């Protein structure tokens, strides 16, 4: 991995951590609890832990749904592109000549 790619990954990870910390702080505020610093740290830690579980579960659900949808998508695209390719489209019957 190039130094630029590593740096970009570090930046993304730092941004993700900042967002998580901000969201954990908001969760403490929204809870309405009055916590001492030790309890607050435990609350934030648990929030982050449980949120990761929720996000992992959602990723799995999305992946499962994606896998269900992919075959139909491929089939649709196969039909669409077969029609557009010259010489590979459906063969049309010649018009009947009037007699």
* pLDDT tens-place string over residues 13-44: 999 999 999 999 999 999 999 999 999 999 99
What does pTM read for this prediction? 0.65
Read off the tokens for 48: 């982050």
* pLDDT tens-place string over residues 54-68: 999 999 999 999 999
Do 17 and 5 form a contact (C-beta atoms < 8 A)?
A: no
Read off the tokens for 17: 């951590």
* pLDDT tens-place string over residues 65-80: 999 999 999 999 999 9
d(CA 54, CA 57): 5
């Amino acid at each position: 991995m190039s130094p630029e790619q590593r740096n970009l990954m570090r930046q993304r990870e730092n941004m993700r951590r900042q967002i998580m910390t901000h969201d954990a702080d908001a969760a403490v505020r929204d809870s309405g609890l009055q916590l001492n610093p030790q309890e607050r740290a435990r609350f934030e830690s648990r929030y982050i832990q449980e949120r990761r579980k929720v996000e992992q579960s959602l990723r799995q659900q999305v992946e499962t749904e994606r896998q269900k949808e992919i075959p139909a998508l491929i089939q649709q695209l196969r039909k669409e592109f077969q029609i557009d390719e010259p010489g590979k489209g459906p063969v049309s019957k010649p018009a009947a000549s009037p007699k």
